[in-house]
Amino acid sequence: IKMPHKQLQVQNLKLSNAGVYTCEHGSRKVRTTLHVFKLTISLDGHFLQNEAPELILMQNSSSSLPDLSITLFDSNNNRVTPEVTTKSRQKYILSLKKLEAMDSGTWVCQVHSDSPLIKQNISFPVKVLGFQNPDLERKYATVNSTVILSWHLNSQKIKWKEGFTGQLNWKQQEGANAHELLDFSVPAQGQLHETKKSSNFLFEIPQRNHESAIEVKLPKVHFNHSGQYQCQLLYQGRHAQNKIELVVMKVSANPVGPLSRGANMTLTCQVSGPLPPNAYLRWERVNGTKMDIKNSKQREVKLEMNISAAGLWSCHLIENGDRKLSLHYHVEEAPVWINYVIIGASVGGSLLAFALGCLCIISGSSWHRRRQRAKRMSQARQYLLENKTCQCQQ
């Protein structure tokens, strides 16, 4: 009892403390009814990304229990509509949607009743350990460039004091074998520690700039370094993950080398993985005309273009109207003397072919005349032989 106003303070309130409290002073009696609520949240309010919490609201009173109306507000004061899985006058079980990292903060459960008149706000903390990256982020790179893949955790932002571990895996495509690149751990109230695991993959762990960022650096990107890089959090037997898909672009030419006047060359632009429906490839010549532009079809990952003009050609990856990636290929024009050599070789080859043709015709005509002469001589010998035979018979 707190003096001097004779206030009764009930500490560590429990459901069993509900009831009617009477204050007596002489012949006077004053009664006060205490209605008690108890709100509990699953996993003690500590969640991983994409986990769905469950709330249990219980009430107790000395009189009949009222029918409650319950409204929830998240940390951004947005109204949340839960699914009521169990509803009795004494116990309400509410299931919420899956949480994201941005849902961390103080939530409010608003309890309302008309009879008796009750309007009570119950605040409770929610901590969601997860990634600040968008889910399935896509990153583009060109061959031989440098790229850093980063996963930003919110553990420092929400002051997560529990220890957790994690790992970073990479696989080139769905269904392929995963390669573990690194392990990391954060002890309680500690700093992030990383351990490189892969020995057959060329990557680096950059010097730490952010306390809660997992990073891997590819100093020289290869075309086969593309694929899905998945960072996974492990906490008390549960896990959450976030993926970054790396798409690599390369260009090539066939034939390789200077382009001679009047000759053709095929330029090829290729990306390592499937593109979203709103993305496509484009070949174009810098300072060229509309005739020097070619776009790929939807979801086409390889674009070929036949060209006959030298200059700087660019392949662009365009998504939602924005150029996400560009790679250039310089087509050199063959020197004039090479063109003369090619022309001379062509003319010389034509003359040689003409001479060989003439020689073949002459040789064929001579052979035909010799064959006709031999045929006539054979016929003459046959004629004389027949005449001598007739004379002997006479």
Both tokens of 312, joined, read 């700087």
Distance of alpha carbon 101 from alpha carbon 127, whole angstroms: 8
Q: Is the peptide bond before 206 cis (omega within 30 degrees of 0)?
A: no
- 120 and 49 in a single domain? The answer is yes
- What mean pLDDT, rounded, does the chain reach? 86
Distance from the first to the final alpha carbon of the chain: 173
237-257 pLDDT, tens digit per residue, is 999 999 999 999 999 999 987
pLDDT at 336: 56
Distance of alpha carbon 153 from alpha carbon 232, whole angstroms: 11
Distance of alpha carbon 242 from alpha carbon 365, whole angstroms: 83
Q: Is the peptide bond before 116 cis (omega within 30 degrees of 0)?
A: yes
Starting at the edge strand found earlier in the chain, the sheet holding 105-113 runs 46-48, 118-129, 105-113, 69-73, 79-80
- 125 and 226 in a single domain? The answer is no
What's 78's domain CATH number? 2.60.40.10
pLDDT at 343: 53
What global pTM score does this model have? 0.76
pLDDT at 333: 87
- 142 and 124 in a single domain? The answer is no
Q: Which domain holds residue 265?
A: 255-331
Residue 86 has pLDDT above 90, yes or no: no
pLDDT band at 103; cut points 50, 70, 90: very high
Element (H, E) at 58: strand 54-60
User: Which of 269-278, 331-340, 382-391 reaches the highest mean pLDDT?
Assistant: 269-278
User: Which of 84-93, 274-283, 341-350 reaches the highest mean pLDDT?
Assistant: 274-283
- 141 and 117 in a single domain? The answer is no
Residue 178 has pLDDT above 80, yes or no: yes
pLDDT band at 339; cut points 50, 70, 90: very low
Residue 111 has pLDDT above 50, yes or no: yes
Decide which of 304, 331, 358 is a domain's last residue.
331
Per-residue DSSP letter, 42: G
- 264 and 287 in a single domain? The answer is yes
Distance of alpha carbon 257 from alpha carbon 267, whole angstroms: 12
The pLDDT of 368-374, averaged and rounded, is 69
Q: Poorest-confidence range of 221-225, 286-290, 316-320? A: 286-290
